[in-house]
Structure 1
Amino acid sequence: MNTTTLVMSAALASLIAGAASAQTTAFANDGATAQAVDDLEEQIADDRDRDIGSFGNEGRTVGSYGSVAMRASSTSNDGDTNADVGIGLRYGTYDGVNGFDVTASFKYGQTNGTETENQLLAGVDYRRDFSDAFFGYGKVEASFDRLTTTVGEYEQDVFVGAGLGYRIFNTDDLQWSIQAGPGYRIAEVVGGDTVNEAAASVSNNVYYSLSDVAYITNDTDVIYSEFATTVTNELAVNVALSDTLSLRTSYATKYNDQTDDAFSDAENTFGASVVYNF
């Protein structure tokens, strides 16, 4: 199923769900179970979604794609008012040699007129294939969190970088790519620190097919500057047990040496999900 079809299906499902929720009932929890299952299935689908061709332009088709998603809610109860807005954007093009992608996500929330969430994430990624094995890239990664209060965390973190990548293996069963290059970091940290300095990034991407229905992925990203080093890694095993049943288990690690004294202090998340369709 292509991206356009997924977006159209999601939009249609949203309209149907909106129409259904407009019905009124004396039973306060009417439809709550169905909504909870919908939310769970959506989260599972998000967990399983992965762009295998995130390094270079491997696996991409010529053309453009794009999607815009928006979610808004407002709740009033016993004099308390809560409002939340979420917006997501994806756009990309590929001409057979050059690939260009833009992503953005914005979350905003209020409770009784007081901001509870104000976060923007954005990325711009350009890739050019030089051969079947070598590629070049340029990227901008930006994060803005205006409400964080934890000392050492970033209110703003912008990284601009470029470099070269190499596909060590590129077969139907095994894809292993690495990329690295210099960059520049501009950051504002809770506690008053401001960072403007040279930086570097190193990334590793592995995809290994265990069988026709199972594969392993491991993604590692490191951004280094004199001020701080951040490391993210996600290892996952994905299994399609049948046409109706699938399983994914993952282990994700996030490390920031500004807030973590050792890797043992890193944030680790284990996830397991099963979905059955009939």
Structure 2
Amino acid sequence: MNMKLTATVSALVLALTAGAGLAQTTLTGVRDLNDQLDDQERDINKDIARANDSYRFGNPSFRDGLSGSASLGYSGKTGNNESQELNAGVRLRYASGPLVQTLGAAINYADTAGVNTKEDVFAVYDANYYFNDKVYGFVLGRVSTDGLATTAADNAIDGFLGFGPGYRLINTEKTTWRIQAGLGVSYLEDGTGASDTEMGYIASSRLFYAFNENVFATMDTDILKTDSALRINNDLGVNMKMTDAFSTRVSYLTEYNDSRAIRSDNKLGVSLVYGF
């Protein structure tokens, strides 16, 4: 079990940033600390915001047409240590009435001293058609590739395409619960080029319960069953906004795969944000 306890203080970030002269160099460590605190606070706020599922209460009110965003980041070092890293991503959404389609992709590339250390590509296609407030259909496709995979134990390509119906069992301001299930095809290719294509079944559950206006719990469960493995991910989280200045999230993530020697990985996370 991995345990993580992270606390960030917004006022500290602001105070350090105020020293503009010092922040121009990493020699003093001030800018490095600023960056680390900013990253921690952003990650925590993203975890809390992600728990507020935009699809929780039905078809989100996305504007019709195409929208999206793209990002590109590059860094390179020369001298005693030579390395470079490239990260690129894109998110596209097309909404047309009851149909909402989303495509996201990320590319990560890195090399050190002329040797490639990372060649990863990850993409997800997600489409939902809302027949009414309770019934919808979905199509879900994902693929991840590892350009450095060379052995039978490495996944060079891991892909899945599935579709099926979804249904909202409960849809109130205090409690929402939706489930979806369907059929699909799983494709795996290892680093030696050997591949395996299997029929699979996918099922998901999204449960939300609000104790009050400041405290709510979520439990997100995903199940993928193929001939070779049963994989289950379950993320249980409690989000609390104690005051305008203090927010916290406690989560427990379980990843189960019956094809591994140790089938379950568990992670406890405690994230705190406090500003004054």
TM over 0.5: yes
Equivalence for 2:132: 131
Q: Which consecutive residues of structure 2, in runs of 5 or more, have no partner in the other structure?
A: 1-16
Asked if 1:276 corresponds to 2:274, the answer is yes
**CA shift at 1:192, angstroms?**
5.7
Equivalence for 2:76: 74
Deviation track 1:104-131 (CA, whole Å, cap 9, x = no partner) reads 1221111111111111111111111112
Equivalence for 1:39: 39
Q: Distance in 1 between matches of 2:219 and 2:26?
A: 49
Contact preservation (8 Å) 1:143, 1:156: yes
Task: Give the secondary-structure state (helix, strand or coil) at the position aligned to 1:250.
Answer: strand
- Superposed CA RMSD in Å reads 2.6
Equivalence for 2:54: 53
Contact preservation (8 Å) 2:89, 2:105: yes
Q: Distance in 1 between matches of 2:213 and 2:23?
A: 44
Equivalence for 1:120: 121
Q: Distance in 1 between matches of 2:209 and 2:26?
A: 52
Q: Relative to structure 1, is the Cα distance of residues 269 and 153 closer, same or farther in structure 2, using a 3 angstrom cutoff?
A: farther
Q: Percent identity?
A: 29
**CA shift at 1:266, angstroms?**
1.9
Equivalence for 2:11: none
Equivalence for 1:215: 216
Q: Relative to structure 1, is the Cα distance of residues 276 and 151 closer, same or farther in structure 2, using a 3 angstrom cutoff?
A: farther
**CA shift at 1:27, angstroms?**
3.4
**CA shift at 1:28, angstroms?**
4.4
Q: Distance in 1 between matches of 2:26 and 2:88?
A: 32
Task: Give the secondary-structure state (helix, strand or coil) at the position aligned to 2:41.
Answer: helix
- RCO comparison, higher one (Cα < 8 Å, 6+): 2
Q: Distance in 2 between matches of 1:26 and 1:130?
A: 55
Asked if 1:103 corresponds to 2:101, the answer is no
Equivalence for 1:5: none
Q: Distance in 2 between matches of 1:38 and 1:99?
A: 33
Q: Relative to structure 1, is the Cα distance of residues 158 and 110 closer, same or farther in structure 2, using a 3 angstrom cutoff?
A: same
Contact preservation (8 Å) 1:208, 1:216: yes
Q: Distance in 2 between matches of 1:120 and 1:232?
A: 22
Q: Relative to structure 1, is the Cα distance of residues 152 and 216 closer, same or farther in structure 2, using a 3 angstrom cutoff?
A: farther
Contact preservation (8 Å) 1:61, 1:94: no
**CA shift at 1:74, angstroms?**
2.1
Equivalence for 1:140: 141
- The two structures have a TM-score, normalised by structure 1, of 0.82
Contact preservation (8 Å) 1:52, 1:59: no
Contact preservation (8 Å) 1:204, 1:221: yes
Q: Which consecutive residues of structure 1, in runs of 5 or more, have no partner in the other structure?
A: 1-16
Find the partner of 2:265 among 264, 267, 273. 267
**CA shift at 1:231, angstroms?**
1.8
Q: Relative to structure 1, is the Cα distance of residues 184 and 21 closer, same or farther in structure 2, using a 3 angstrom cutoff?
A: farther
Q: Distance in 1 between matches of 2:150 and 2:169?
A: 42
Q: Distance in 2 between matches of 1:95 and 1:21?
A: 50
Aligned residues: 255
Q: Distance in 1 between matches of 2:26 and 2:131?
A: 64
Q: Distance in 1 between matches of 2:55 and 2:156?
A: 27
> Counterparts of 1:1-278 in structure 2 under 5 Å?
24-25=24-25, 27-50=27-50, 52-54=53-55, 58=58, 60-63=60-63, 65-76=67-78, 78=80, 80-148=81-149, 152-190=153-191, 193-258=194-259, 260-261=260-261, 265-278=263-276
**CA shift at 1:188, angstroms?**
0.8
Task: Give the secondary-structure state (helix, strand or coil) at the position aligned to 2:221.
Answer: strand
Contact preservation (8 Å) 2:22, 2:30: no
Q: Relative to structure 1, is the Cα distance of residues 101 and 65 closer, same or farther in structure 2, using a 3 angstrom cutoff?
A: same
